Structure 1
């Protein structure tokens, strides 16, 4: 176990290179870690993180006014409370459930099949850069009803938005760049919103445009903020989770073989990936009142970062938490994608991720398509695995070699892709 010295910082290059090395010592030696450079507290124990995420009166999302609202172009769901939060969350959830979800899964399968097809005869693909990232943006644009020909431009704007939200410190130049990305994304979206108001379709933007809160239609600003909210939430974790799932299965060949033989184990493998290496590592809150953790007082008004990666590896919550095990009995696959999830990868409580059901369906569908195609998947010769990210974290690349596939019908197996839900 890494010892925490007085000069330790979660903002250091050493921590960024591999935060998992430090989680046990943080939980045991410094469960309430203060970072003076950003005047913030970092909590690493499962019980403390869960307390912060579920006590909405004592720990608010006020910090998002500074961390998210400037690039979301308006308040996001996590900032809302009471009747407004309930109503607007229901509107967004409706876009990810029922028939809408079934239609989206068909689109997910089609997009995934088309994106992977050129790589199959080659027997080689970078699952992050050549497949996962474009797929995540394609799928999100489909959900929103935006033109996929604009995907690279939308992805570039989204990258600036995500950088603003997930950076713990920004230079003035990077801050300006991120805000410009948000302004350009808003300028792109407003004419689309106005068109959907006049001619609504079946997409999520149309649904938001036609919805009302308190008998009043949502403004363009309200709709823009929710669209960017969905774009960030749906795009950011999806490619990371997919790549991490394949990494862990390749690193544990006996578990990979079991999943390939029995596809009903796939949800358990996804749930364990989310616990073991959650793509969202930090969730910020603001202490509304003074609070005490492990005998240490966090003052009222302080920013508190919940360390999801550390909480998900807490031995008080999981047996042998540093072991990847799709058969672990203390995770509970059925509840791992619900508000009763034991892991905290989607957050928990009132502001649990609104797209949890969609995330499960998307990753299951894509993994079920890829596993039989990427036969004998292994790291490409010379490939060196590396992860980046403090707030959100995932592989820089995942270069795989596999047995080449020829003559794969693009749309075959669509029903199979939906059968796992």
Structure 2
């Protein structure tokens, strides 16, 4: 039965979801929302169960939630030999030598976006730097023109709205579909050109590689490219903003990371646990599922509450504390399939771009930290986050003292 006193769709929850996580886990761990006829699970063991039991909880919801704007099926919808072969193709584009090459691309794009901001001693880390950087570097890795980043950003905003909205008005749905069609029309000629004249970029790799005689059609490649764009851009700027927000709010930990850059991976891993940019992951219950705290009927949509699970005291000690030194996280495995936190999902459909996400955030943060001396929140600025499905800072205005040598080098 729904709890009439509480809704995850309420304005109060949207303002500060973390304030309600303990209440959900303790009082309504299998929470029903009648307005969207969906169930929300919040305990760590339950979320892990839903994400790893691929027969009982499938990704069929993505056929409605993602495929229309992805312009075709994405990896998370696939199973068996098809999933294995196509996942290998994508993973190959984000590991090994490809990832080393991408690290240089990441650093070059970060320096380029940062250059005009550095001498000012102030910037909005999310809107002045994070968002343009995340789109530009992803376009660069794909082999697309990064000067198109503003138009691609506009299209991606519509695609992201479609995927992450719990409910859409007909007008917003039409807008999102127009964005998806625009992005598809932009990508298809590039894909066809790369088939004829492949390069070293990811689109060329996706367009020409075969595994076990499995090749991909233009429609499939388009869907995977849009998938990569959304997956790489959405979490990156949010994670970067959240990382700096938490470090600035914990100055002793910020000082430790500045003195010892080897701690940066731990700080990123703890940011992903503490405030995961992806807060909800949907699944479809293929059969009735009994949990300690409720029963989900067959055919129901189940939303895994990643933020609540990542703060479950059954999984983490003092989970509401941001602590880069915590012993129960395991930094070395936090960007792999063995991660203790659930920010990248888990199981068969864990995010294929986890290694790239780590390289991206680590490279950029390592570049920024020494350049932004005495970095601090801008006086008078109010911090606000937004998003139910994906969540991050609306803005992060910072003041800092730019390192003189760095200003000269980047000017």
Aligned mates of 2:72, 2:5 — CA distance in 1: 38
Q: Post-superposition shift, 1:156?
A: 0.5
In the alignment, which residue of structure 1 is the partner of 2:392?
Answer: 394
In structure 2, which of residues 183, 186, 195 is the aligned counterpart of residue 188 of structure 1? 186
Report Cα offsets for 1:63-90 as digits up to 9, x if no partner: 0000000000000000000000000000
Q: Is the 8 A contact 1:113 1:410 kept in 2?
A: no
Map of 1:230-379 to 2, 5 A cutoff?
230-379=228-377
Quote the residue 2:207 is aligned against. 209
Q: Is the 8 A contact 2:38 2:303 kept in 1?
A: yes
Q: Tell me if the contact between 1:117 and 1:408 (Cα under 8 Å) persists in the aligned partners.
A: no
User: What does residue range 41-56 of structure 1 map to in structure 2 within 5 Å?
Assistant: 41-56=39-54
Structure 2 Cα separation of the partners of residues 326 and 215 of structure 1 = 45
What SS does the aligned partner of 1:318 have?
coil
* SS of aligned partner of 2:273: helix
List structure 1 segments (4+ residues) > 3 angstroms apart after TM superposition.
409-412
- Report the RMSD for the aligned CA atoms in angstroms: 1.3
- Name 2:162's counterpart in structure 1: 164
Gaps of 5+ in 1: 413-421
SS in 1 for 2:401: coil
In the alignment, what sits opposite 2:72? Answer: 74
Written as runs of structure 1 = structure 2, the 5 A alignment for 1:96-107 is 96-107=94-105
Does the aligned pair in 1 maintain the 2:119–2:407 contact within 8 Å?
Answer: no
Counterparts of residues 27-42 of structure 1 (less than 5 Å): 27-42=25-40
The secondary structure found in structure 1 opposite 2:406 is: coil
Alignment size in residue pairs: 409
How many Å apart are 1:38 and its aligned residue?
Answer: 0.6
Q: What is the CA distance between 1:139 and its match in structure 2?
A: 1.0
Question: Shift of the alpha carbon at 1:120?
Answer: 1.5
Deviations 1:101-158 (A, max 9, x none): 1111001001111111212111001000000001100111011100011110011001
* TM superposition shift of 1:405: 3.3
Once residues 406 and 117 of structure 1 are traced to their aligned partners in structure 2, the CA distance between those partners, rounded to angstroms, is: 13
In the alignment, the residues of structure 1 paired with residue 25 and residue 43 of structure 2 have an alpha-carbon distance, to the nearest angstrom, of: 5
> Over residues 12-70 of structure 1, what are the superposed CA-to-partner deviations in whole Å (9 max), with x where a residue is unaligned?
11110100000000000000000011110000000000000000010000000000000
Equivalent residue number for residue 133 of structure 2:
135
Match of 1:292, SS?
A: strand
Secondary structure in 2 matching 1:305: strand
- After superposition, the C-alpha distances for 1:199-246 in whole angstroms (9 at most, x for unaligned) are 000001000110235525311101100100100111100000001000
Partners in 2 of 1:326 and 1:169 — Cα distance?
36
Q: Unpaired segments of 5 or more residues in structure 2? A: none
- Using the size of structure 2 for normalisation, the TM-score is 0.98
| Counterpart contact for 2:375–2:400, Cα < 8 Å | yes
Matches of 2:14 and 2:365, distance apart in 1: 28
How far apart are the structure 1 equivalents of 2:120 and 2:70?
Answer: 40
8 Å CA contact retained: 2:89, 2:211? no
User: Would the alpha carbon gap of residues 227 and 367 (structure 1) be closer, same or farther in structure 2, given more than 3 Å must change?
Assistant: same
Residue 416 of structure 1 corresponds to none
How far apart in 1 are the matches of 2:140 and 2:109?
A: 9
For residues 229-278 of structure 1, give each alpha carbon's deviation from its aligned partner in whole angstroms, at most 9, with x where no partner exists. Answer: 10011110000000100000000000000000011000000000000000
CA distance in 2, matches of 1:187, 1:99: 31
Structure 1 pair 164–410 and aligned structure 2 pair: CA distance change class (3 A): farther
Residue 111 of structure 2: aligned partner: 113
CA distance in 1, matches of 2:408, 2:223: 35
Q: Distance in 2 between matches of 1:302 and 1:259?
A: 45
SS in 2 for 1:200: coil
